[in-house]
Amino acid sequence: MAYPDDLLSPSEHVVIHNHPHWKMLLLPVFFLLAVVAAFAFTASLVSEQSWSTIAQIALAVVGVLLVGWLTLAPLVRWRTTHFIVTSDRVMAREGVLKRTGLDIPLSRINSVRFQHSLLDRVLGCGTLIIESASDEPLEFDDIPKVERVHSLLYREINDNPDDDYRPGNAVADGRA
C-alpha cells in the first residue's frame, strides 16, 4: 500500500513504506485461538444444563469482547502503524482514534544504526535507531528487513543534494 501522494511535497517520493513486522501479531493470534478453545470447551460443559442458552449467550458476548480487545485491536493498531522513508524525510505514523506522527528531515539525521537479537535475525526484523538533532536517539522497533532499511536510509541521507557536506565537493570542503 503506497503512502498517499497528496501528503508529500511535489519533488518527494516514497523510498520505503513498512508496517511493523508480523511478529507483533503472534500474541494476538494465540489469544484468538485460546479464546475460541476456551469458549468451545465451556460451551460444551454447559450444553447439558437447563440454563445453557443464557450461559452460551453470555459466553459468546464475553468471547466477542475478548477477541475484539486481544486480537482485533492489535491487528488494527498494526495496520495503522507506518514507517516511511521518503527522499526528504523519515516519517512514523501510528494510531487509530488518536493519530500521532513524527517527521525527521534527512538533513537533520546524524547517524543511523540497527540492532537485532537472534530471534529478530531469524525473523528478518530489528530495531532502527536514528540519532538526529534531538536529545535522545529515536528507536523504531520491529522494522522488517532492518538491515535493508538501514542501508537505503543511509544512501538517501548521503545522496541528498541539500546536504552541506558531500564527499568530493570542493566548495563544502573549503578547498575552493
Same-domain check for residues 67 and 103: no
Same-domain check for residues 117 and 58: no
Give the bridge partners for 126, in sequence order. 143
Give the largest Cα separation in the chain, rounded. 93
- CB distance 107 to 163 below 8 Å: yes
Same-domain check for residues 72 and 115: no
CA distance 174 to 162: 17
Same-domain check for residues 74 and 88: no
Q: Other CB atoms closer than 10 Å to residue 56's CB: what's the count?
A: 17
Domain count across the chain: 2
CA distance 33 to 158: 47
Same-domain check for residues 72 and 96: no
Host domain of residue 88: 13-19+84-160
**What per-residue confidence (pLDDT) applies to 165?**
47
For the question of whether the overall pTM of this predicted structure is more than 0.85, the answer is no
Question: What tens digit of pLDDT does each residue of 18-51 get?
Answer: 999 999 999 999 999 999 999 999 888 888 777 7
Local structure of 111: helix, strand or coil: strand
User: Residue 159 — pLDDT band, cuts 50, 70, 90?
Assistant: confident
Tell me whether residue 176 is in a domain. Answer: no
pLDDT at 108 over 50: yes
- CB distance 98 to 76 below 8 Å: no
Same-domain check for residues 119 and 91: yes
User: Residue 169 — pLDDT band, cuts 50, 70, 90?
Assistant: very low
**What per-residue confidence (pLDDT) applies to 129?**
94
Strand (E) or helix (H) holding 170:
helix 170-173
